[in-house]
Structure 1
Amino acid sequence: MRPDRSVSAARLPDRPPQRSALRRATQIAMALTGFLLWVAWHRGLMRCDTHRAAERFAQVLQRLGTTFVKLGQHLSLRADVLPPDAQRALASLQAHVAPFSSEQAVQEVEAALGRPWQEVFARFDMQALAAASIAQIHRAALPDGTEVVVKIRRPGAAEQAETDMRILRRLVLTIQWFVPSLRRWGLAAIVDEVAANFRYEMDLSREASSVRRFADAWRDSPDIVLPDVVDGLCTSTVMVQQFSRGAHLHGLPPAMGAAAAGKLVDSYIVQIFRDGFFHGDPHPGNVFVMDDGRICLHDFGIVGRVDRSMRRALVAFALAFVEQDADWVVDAWLDLGLVGEGTDRAVFVPVVRTLVADCAEHPLKDWSLSDALAQLVAAGRTQDVRLPRDLLVLTRTLLLLEGTVRLLAPDFSIIEAISRHTATGIFDERKSAASQRLPYELGNAANALPTLLARRLHSVLRQRELLQLSIKPDVRMLSGIDRLGRRIALALVTLGLYIASSLLMQHAVGPRWGDMPVLALLGYALAIRLTFFIARSRG
């Protein structure tokens, strides 16, 4: 049944006006100030625990709306800033938002695509299929009958987020000015990072690029399917994507759930450890099981990237964790480059040994890579730990993946899957029955050796030290070295004259002779005279 097309012809209401920045700043300042006063009162007089304060903070963020809910979700991953009970309290935050009206949805689509929706779609369902804090989804059909979904950014969401982040940053800077001890937590940097994440998630054209990249990479996969975007129908506010139909993860038969868990984990091992580009939001609502058993992934608003060096360190960390080699775990953690130069390795050793001992007392299915990463980050709170965005996304991804896998198959072990892949070549082609570390490190050394030799040879050739001979100096050699030093110094002065004269010529500084700056001409003349002098004095 086709919807009433009169919707697009009628005059649509303007998007709701944004609240004034001053009013919003007052609301945010009063809410955060009230929370700080509550903490000061209850911690100072009533000695309330950290968990209760975190729950109160979560309530404040929930009342402040979507932007602050996202801030709380981000903070829930910051083991370098918050203790575990506070992280758990903030992790429960969810943005509860109602869908915006069909009139606004149509208005956004037509504004983004530059034409009436009837010229783009044969059908457009006015009732939203799903709604979230940033966008909502509508089903539709293209003129050729292709079923699609239309993702539409919530009107005013980007502007509201930018306003909230600017206000929050000013408040944080003001608070840090009054309480300088808070600067060590890097609160302003956290606000900047959340703001950058918001901008990324708000830009649906970036999400469309990510979808296309994943769809191309997995197009021929027998286990994973990703609905591709439709060319020419993606902008920063609207994204049109092929519709896929599948079963939700809740209530799957055990055999189907176990098979789905295996395919999902295998795909993430490839994404993270081989490709270095991964889907960052694998919660159960974004994962479907198709009729043919393939796994379908949705919502690429959050993606993570891991560069080659960090990927090698993560591979080493995963292998070390699989083998429960405490020393190797610490070395791999330090190789990630998240801590400062003066890091005390001894800080992490007892944490890892406790972690290894705790894992030994539990079955493999209960081992958690995300928990291991979080514990090491927490141990480094006093060691200048620096957490890049992509590592935070990775930690969140692993946490969500573990939860989704437990929903699909409670007895499935991600660690066993990683162990299985050590023999497939995803991590390294060499293996040892006794230990993976030696072949892994040798493989890394073999891969890095040509680059290291090339750099060393380049450095040697630049310094003309290919052959270093021990020669006993005499008077003539010392005199020659002295003359060479003077010529080099004079050559540097000459080069400086050429550069300075060129700058004077470009900016026409000083008196002029015709169209030429006099100072530049004098500089060139002196530089040329010195060049001839250097050339004649080579002997």
Structure 2
Amino acid sequence: MAGHLRNVARLLTIARVLARHDALFLLDSLAVLKPVALVARAVSRRAVPGRPGQKLAAAFTDLGPTFIKLGQALSIRADLLGEEIAADLSDLQDALPPFSFTEVRKAVEEELGQPLESLFSSFDETPVAAASIAQVHFAVTAPDAEGRTQEVAVKVLRPGVEEAFRKDVELLHWLARLAEAAQPSTRRLRPVETARAFEDAVVMEMDLRFEAAAACEVAENFADDDDFRVPAIDWMRTGRRVMTLERVNGIPINDREALAAAGLRPVDLVTRVSNAFFRMVFRDGFFHADMHPGNIFVDRDGTIVAVDFGIMGRVDRQTRRHLGEMLLSFLTANYRRAAEVHFEAGWVGADQSVDAFTQACRSIAQPILGRPLAEISIARLLGQLFHVTETFDMHTQPQLLMLQKSMLVSEGVGRTLAPDVNMWEMARPLIESWMADNLGPQARLKDGLTTLGDSIERLPRILAATESTLGKIQSGGLRLDPETVKALRGRKRSWAAALPWVLVLVLGLLLILK
């Protein structure tokens, strides 16, 4: 009960902030929360100019770090909010006022167990970037045994952000469960699973050791690549709340004048960015999910340097194969095969019509693929595809949504550098080679043998578990937990159905007592 009251109180605060920014449509979209939106609108509504997505982005900024991250996560959910709102949320600036150098010193010394001066010979007190989760300072390491120093960037977690996130994410889980219980139509969008994925992603982002590990993994994957690299991590000066890495002195990838002055050709850089992104996704199944221009630099020799590995995506081998075959089918206008891949992957239920879904694939792809080559957007194609899937009861695939958003950002980088070039066409030789290696008969045979080997390895455990279960049934020792029985019987009245009116009552009392 205490948890419900705490969540209701936080929800009321959020509703009033949304009302002040005229962004209550977010609550209006859930029938169970309409009473909350109704009262908040009566109390706090203001007329605010701008598009709905811009208003929502401003409200999320006011609500703090968790909601800034939530806005970024929702920017990939055009299936939930529509393309215009999702696009506006993608422009949400992850920036907050910096915290004091006193707090920075305290965090560094507590985390690394040494005085700041023992670790660094100089440390800039003014941050170069201050975001919702952390801020970054430039520094120079203290001399090592051989007298060597290194220019570094030090990322420090924002004080109190972990506790604030814990409270807000508890509310998000509560709302997700409420939505599924009171509005079954939302289950296709997997709100509970989405809330869990959001929590997992931000928890990892708030432990800077995970970001450091992600950077090292990508560095290993590209160890033999001369066109792409990752700054080295200083593990001796890295912990849960502090991360130290090599300072990048390259040219920001969106500084076209500086790139031209350095003699770097935009077409070459687009090729390197597209090849690196393609290799991350299809070769490695582990990709940088936030490759916006602020996170990409170019060395003087043209090498692409990526930073900020807090948001990463993973795609398993089977999904990569399905995705690769789907993209190849679209690019060759084989819409029937594109539709079949969705059924084979289990993304669309077997009870749906393959013919109808083929027609839907054609309706999405032809307007996009029929454009001039430089204007073709694979990310837009995927976004349109996910947008129409409700008709076919296609369950949300969070990993594909993140990939689609990452593709969109990467395409934006490519168009900034060379508007007349299509980055996916430049990567086509790699795509075709990967397809041949992973979709051909030999690859399928290899995958089949691997699957068979895994099944044989699991067989003894499966047989042992089956034998144990049969023994319990025969001896009468297998019983359902009483709580499980109670849940299976169900309740005559769902708590979720009554909750809106409880919220109205609470809001009314607050207004009377105000």
TM-score (ref. length: structure 1):
0.72
1:107 aligns with 2:115: no
> Which of 239, 243, 256 is the matching residue for 2:247?
243
Q: Is the 8 A contact 2:285 2:317 kept in 1?
A: yes
Deviations 1:422-456 (A, max 9, x none): 45x333249xxxxxxxxx45344333454577799
Distance 1:184 1:426 in 2: 32
Q: List alignment gaps of at least 5 residues for structure 1.
A: 1-19, 43-50, 431-439, 461-491, 504-539
Distance 1:88 1:392 in 2: 14
Q: Is the 8 A contact 1:125 1:140 kept in 2?
A: yes
Q: Is the 8 A contact 2:105 2:116 kept in 1?
A: yes
Matches within 5 A, 1:105-184: 105-142=104-141, 143=143, 144-171=148-175, 173=177
Aligned to 2:14: 28
Distance 1:218 1:176 in 2: 42
Output the amino acid matched with 1:331.
Answer: E
> Which of 336, 339, 349 is the matching residue for 1:327?
336
Residue 80 of structure 1: SS of its match in structure 2?
helix
In structure 2, relative to structure 1, the CA distance for the partners of 1:335 and 1:151 (3 Å cut) is farther
Aligned to 2:312: 303
Matches within 5 A, 1:441-460: 441-451=440-450
Matches within 5 A, 1:81-92: 81-92=80-91
> Which of 194, 217, 240 is the matching residue for 1:190?
194
Aligned to 1:465: none
Deviations 1:312-350 (A, max 9, x none): 112212322332322222223334433334333334322
Q: Which has the higher helix share?
A: 2
In structure 2, relative to structure 1, the CA distance for the partners of 1:107 and 1:21 (3 Å cut) is farther
Let me know the Cα RMSD of the aligned residues.
3.6
Distance 1:314 1:360 in 2: 17
In structure 2, relative to structure 1, the CA distance for the partners of 1:209 and 1:324 (3 Å cut) is same
1:69 aligns with 2:77: no
Matches within 5 A, 1:1-400: 24-31=10-17, 35=24, 53-142=52-141, 143=143, 144-171=148-175, 173=177, 185-249=189-253, 250-251=255-256, 252-253=259-260, 256-400=265-409
Q: Is the 8 A contact 2:342 2:348 kept in 1?
A: no
1:428 aligns with 2:427: no
> Which of 409, 414, 436 is the matching residue for 2:418?
409
Deviation at 1:226, TM superposition (A): 1.0
Matches within 5 A, 1:457-476: none
Output the amino acid matched with 2:236.
Answer: G
Distance 2:78 2:173 in 1: 21
Matched residue count: 435
Higher relative contact order (CA 8 A, sep 6+): 2
Distance 2:414 2:7 in 1: 43
Larger mean CA deviation between 161-170 and 303-312 belongs to 161-170
Deviation at 1:246, TM superposition (A): 0.4
Instruction: Give aligned-pair identity as a percent.
Output: 31
Deviations 1:149-182 (A, max 9, x none): 1111111112111111212333455566666665
Output the amino acid matched with 2:404.
Answer: T
Distance 1:160 1:152 in 2: 17
Deviation at 1:119, TM superposition (A): 1.3
Residue 80 of structure 2: SS of its match in structure 1?
coil
Larger radius of gyration: 1
Residue 339 of structure 1: SS of its match in structure 2?
coil
> Which of 421, 427, 434 is the matching residue for 1:418?
427
